[in-house]
């Protein structure tokens, strides 16, 4: 999965000052940390309550936060849920799923090369390289977009940085996808399925 910095970068500049939207952007990856209503309320405590879902609605996505794999989210399943998609939180959540889909669908993540390397050097070693590629992408995105990650994410100490050219991640293609998503209207983003 591309990571928190990538998802922050895909966020609409017009909505990045809306805390509920930003929480929605990271929620699919952060959802595994939310085990109960108390965890959820702590996650959205700094949001306008009118912009966030109820815990009961959030429970509809718990346990299947990406609606399949992050590399192939079943976005139609998400949109079929009885949720208020006008809430900034769900707009961010949807944007996250679109970002995952675009990263893998358009070849920005070289899955064929990853698969070949997995067979040659082992899946664990290939995963380490891919993980480091995301760290390299984080460095590039940090310089380009200068987005501060949310305190909850920072506390997890999972956003790392390294320098160099990624092996499996085509940063140019990913940045094109980021620009496409972040500069689209909500109506255009909804059509990116």
List, run by run, the mean pLDDT of 10-residue segments along the chain (193 residues). 86 94 94 93 96 95 82 88 95 94 84 94 95 94 89 89 95 93 92 84
pLDDT at residue number 103: 86
pLDDT at residue number 41: 96
pLDDT at residue number 89: 97
pTM of the prediction?
Answer: 0.92
pLDDT at residue number 1: 58
pLDDT at residue number 68: 78
Is residue 107 classed exposed, middle or buried when 0-12, 13-18 and 19+ CB atoms within 10 A define those classes?
A: exposed
């Amino acid at each position: 999965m591309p990571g928190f910095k990538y998802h922050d970068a895909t966020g609409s500049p017009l909505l990045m000052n809306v805390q509920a939207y930003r929480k929605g952007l990271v929620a699919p990856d952060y959802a595994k940390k939310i085990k109960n209503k108390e965890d959820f309320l702590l996650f959205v405590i700094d949001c306008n309550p009118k912009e966030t879902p109820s815990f009961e609605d959030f429970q509809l996505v718990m346990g299947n936060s990406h609606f399949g794999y992050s590399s192939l989210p079943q976005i139609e399943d998400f949109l079929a849920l009885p949720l208020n998609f006008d809430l900034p939180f769900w707009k961010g959540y949807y944007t996250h799923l679109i970002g995952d889909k675009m990263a893998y669908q358009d070849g920005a993540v070289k899955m064929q090369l990853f698969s070949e390397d997995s067979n040659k050097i082992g899946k664990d070693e290939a995963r380490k390289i891919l993980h480091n590629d995301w760290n390299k992408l984080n460095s590039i995105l940090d310089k380009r977009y200068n987005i501060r990650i949310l305190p909850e994410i920072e506390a997890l100490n999972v956003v790392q940085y390294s320098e160099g050219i990624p092996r499996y991640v085509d940063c140019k293609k990913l940045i094109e996808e980021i620009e496409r998503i972040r500069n689209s209207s909500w109506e255009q983003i909804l059509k990116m399925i």
